[in-house]
Amino acid sequence: MKIRKRLIPLVIVIALCFSVAVSPVSAVTGKDDDKIIVVSQKEITLNVGETRTIEAAVVPQEENPELLWYSSNEPVASVDNKGNITGIKKGEATILIRLRGKEEVYTTAEVSVKEDSRITCG
């Protein structure tokens, strides 16, 4: 009986960790009145010249939130105001997404840009 009492909390903790690890939505850094920013990806790998979009939203939902997007390393990865990230050259960058007027409400996503490894023939 003692083993079962110890095992049940352990199983619950493992289940909670697993559910967080496989969640399709990542994010949350910074709070203001319990507002957070959630993003579709916290890590993204691109080839040079490739563009992908990260979706972001404010929770609880805010009418017409203005999100500001920044790249920590523009020569490596650029980002526009819609979350389109483009790999420019090999390297690493951090994308910062911030809620306008609320400096403390933000999140980040890590970007890794690789050389295109496809082989082309003449």
CA distance 58 to 51: 23
Domain carrying residue 85: 25-114
Residues (pLDDT < 70) of the chain are: 1-33, 117-122
CA distance 106 to 32: 10
- Confirm whether 3 is domain-assigned: no
Number of domains into which the chain is organized = 1
Looking at residue 116, its pLDDT comes to: 77
Looking at residue 10, its pLDDT comes to: 44
- Confirm whether 77 is domain-assigned: yes
Query: Sheet of 51-53: strands edge to edge?
Result: 51-53, 84-87, 77-79
Looking at residue 4, its pLDDT comes to: 46
Q: CATH number of the domain that 83 lies in?
A: 2.60.40.1080
> Residue 110 in contact with residue 45, Cβ under 8 Å?
no
- Confirm whether 18 is domain-assigned: no
Which DSSP letter does residue 29 get? Answer: B
Count how many Cα atoms sit within 13 Å of the Cα of residue 55 in the half-sphere of its side chain: 5
Q: What is the full DSSP assignment across 40-101? A: S-SEEEEETT-EEE--EEEES--SS--EEEEES-TTTEEE-TT-EEEE-SSEEEEEEEEETT
- Confirm whether 97 is domain-assigned: yes
Looking at residue 64, its pLDDT comes to: 86
- Confirm whether 19 is domain-assigned: no
Looking at residue 43, its pLDDT comes to: 98
Looking at residue 62, its pLDDT comes to: 83
